[in-house]
Amino acid sequence: METKNTWEKYDIKAERELEKICAEYRDFLSNGKTERECIDQIVNKIEAAGYTELEGLIKANKKLKAGDKVYSVWMNKSIAIFQLGKRPMTEGINILGAHIDSPRLDIKQNPLYEDGGFAYLDTHYYGGVKKYQWVTIPLAIHGVIAKKDGTTVEINIGEDADDPVFFISDLLIHLAQEQLEKKASKVIEGEALDLIIGNRPIVIDKAEKTSARGRKKAADTDESEEKQQAKDAVKKGILKILKDNYDLEEEDFISAELEVVPAGKAREAGFDRSMILSYGQDDRVCAFTSLRAMLDTPKVDRTMCCILVDKEEIGSVGATGMHSHFFDNAVAEVMNLAGEYSELNLRRCLSRSCMLSSDVSSAFDPTYAGSFDKKNVAYLGGGMVFNKFTGSRGKSGSNDANAEYLAHLRAAFEKEDVNFQTAELGKVDLGGGGTIAYILAEYGMNVIDSGVAVLNMHAPWEATSKADVYETYRGYKAFLKNVSL
């Protein structure tokens, strides 16, 4: 089967809508480089569309009915969004599920130190990265610092034109003979990914020194005191800046969540502006299109749900990952307010549901053609991607969708003239990857991976096709409207 180029099907009206969707998507990427920032944007969008927070409805014991729109946020990093349909939830719901975490560098809890006249922040990389890709590029710091008094300081440094940026150094080519003989996985070690954040020592005014000495005579200045003043002077300068600008002490790093990400906005790519280049498209491209599809889908018979979660890049673990019970707890609460809840009804709802595990797929790269099976790979511009299975080496760790479910989806997508392609994550023996699909499949529901093809996946800057972004949005709408098993 030959993959059709999606661009060829669009008329002027479709291209205008495509550009509008993609402009909104680029804005979402530029302003959502952490899970918390994504959640903030999402809540603003859905509340403007008439969604109400579930927790408030639970306290008020307000009953839900068809057409009601509710959402539940968990720890500011995951969210479940529901629009109730006419049919009972026990007959199943239609779910779009994506993740909003992306590979990055996390700042450690005791990170700040000085060496060789530089102030550094020690980091721990998050998710699967090629470590050498993170050196010598402009980096920004995003996140929060929770203080003992209960206040939270939001950090976003490196994105505005007037902001400083940060960087990780690399060995100059003139001295890199031994470095270049190493394997790519060893060229840059994890412990070498330390962020340079300053180089200027703090200056103590001489009058201030004299005052601090009190009754000491200037002639009695202790040489060791002078050395002590000079010790870690760059680090002390950074601490002064943090105190003056953010009222932060060094100990506040203990209760911080700070993420180091590439600095800069999402951009159009190519002379023809056909692509988008940005950090974090895996998997915020599917999160955005899932959310937008749900907001743009009118009332339907089956309840719609969009769940956007954290921690997929490290195994969907923790309280905000898909392995937690946040999702089924939220479904149970919605069913309870709709007058349908029982443990048996919850199980029936989940087992009869249909899901698109909205996650990206690897795009064919002609430069590295030997890593792909050309007959079973996604192409940029080929439309929305279905991965019947993911996993690695013999489908290990994979959800493998049923043929009947795929046939049902084919019919639904062809009804709405959605261009789609099928793919695998590279050649069988080379590796692979996982998604949240297998976790939802454990409830017994029909699940398949579907989303956007990404070039440079997991790199600081990833590329997608505008046509694929738009077609995936259209595909998600077709799913919510037409799928019912």
302 & 429 share domain? yes
In a domain, 269, yes or no: no
**Tally of helices (H runs) and strands (E runs) in the chain:** 13, 22
The pLDDT value recorded for residue 298 is: 86
- Domain stop point among 262, 294, 310: 262
pLDDT at 219 (0 to 100) = 47
Query: What does the pLDDT read at residue 434?
Result: 82
27 in a structural domain: yes
Query: pLDDT tens track of the chain, all 485 residues?
Result: 667 799 999 999 999 999 999 999 999 999 999 999 999 999 999 999 999 999 999 999 999 999 999 999 999 999 999 999 999 999 999 999 999 999 999 999 999 999 999 999 999 999 999 999 999 999 999 999 999 999 999 999 999 999 999 999 999 999 999 999 999 999 999 999 999 999 999 987 655 555 555 545 554 555 665 666 678 999 999 999 999 999 999 999 999 999 999 999 999 999 999 999 999 999 899 999 999 999 999 888 999 999 999 999 999 999 999 999 999 999 999 999 999 999 999 999 999 999 999 999 999 999 999 999 999 999 999 999 999 988 888 888 888 899 999 999 999 999 999 999 999 888 888 877 889 999 999 999 999 999 999 999 999 999 999 999 999 999 999 999 988 87
Q: Are strands 354-358 and 446-451 parallel, antiparallel or unpaired?
A: parallel
Answer whether residue 273 is part of any domain: no
Name the residue among 249, 235, 135, 244 with its Cα closest to residue 187.
135
pLDDT of the residue at 370: 92
| 3-state DSSP of 268-294 | EECCCCCEEEECCHHHHHHHHHHHHHH
Same domain, 405 and 340: yes
Q: Is residue 287 part of a domain?
A: yes
Could you write out the DSSP letters of every residue in 196-253? EEE-PPP---HHHHHHHHTT--GGG--HHHHHHHHTTHHHHHHHHHHHHHH---GGGG
Does residue 137 fall inside a structural domain? yes
- Spatial separation of the C-alpha atoms in residues 304 and 85, rounded to whole Å: 7
How far apart CA 316 and CA 460 sit, in angstroms, is: 21
pLDDT number for residue 203: 83
Residue 94 sits in the same domain as residue 110:
no
Regarding whether 346 and 197 lie in a shared domain, the answer is no
- Specify if 370 maps to a domain: yes
Nearest Cα residue to 94 out of 481, 443, 362, 456: 481
- The CATH number for 186's domain is 2.30.250.10
The answer to whether residue 1 is domain-embedded is no
Which residue range forms the structural domain that includes residue 202? 104-262
Checking DSSP bridges between strand 354-358 and strand 384-387, what pairing results, if any?
unpaired
Which of 232, 262, 292 terminates a domain? The answer is 262
Give the Å distances, CA to CA, from 22 to 123, 278, 285: 33, 12, 10
Does residue 199 form part of some domain?
A: yes
User: In the listed set 262, 293, 328, which residue is the last one of a domain according to the structure?
Assistant: 262
Compute the distance between CA of residue 419 and CA of residue 396 in angstroms, rounded to an integer.
Answer: 29
Do 288 and 437 share a structural domain?
yes
Do 27 and 147 reside in the same domain of the chain?
A: no
Report the pLDDT value the prediction gives residue 222, as an integer from 0 to 100: 57
Contacts of 472 (CB under 8 A, 6+ apart): 285, 286, 289, 358, 383, 384, 385, 450, 451, 452
* 326 and 468, same domain (yes or no): yes
- The answer to whether residues 431 and 345 belong to one domain is yes
Whether residue 95 is found in the same domain as residue 110: no
Q: Is there a single domain that holds both residue 283 and residue 186?
A: no
Number of domains observed in the structure of the chain = 2
Taking the model in full, what pTM does it have?
Answer: 0.93
Residues 163 and 251 in one domain: yes
Residues 366 and 386 in one domain: yes
Strand 384-387, strand 139-146: pairing:
unpaired
Name every residue whose Cβ is closer than 8 Å to that of residue 448 and which is 6 or more positions away in sequence.
355, 356, 357, 386, 387, 388, 399, 401, 405, 406, 409, 437
Q: Find the CATH number of the domain harbouring 67.
A: 3.40.630.10
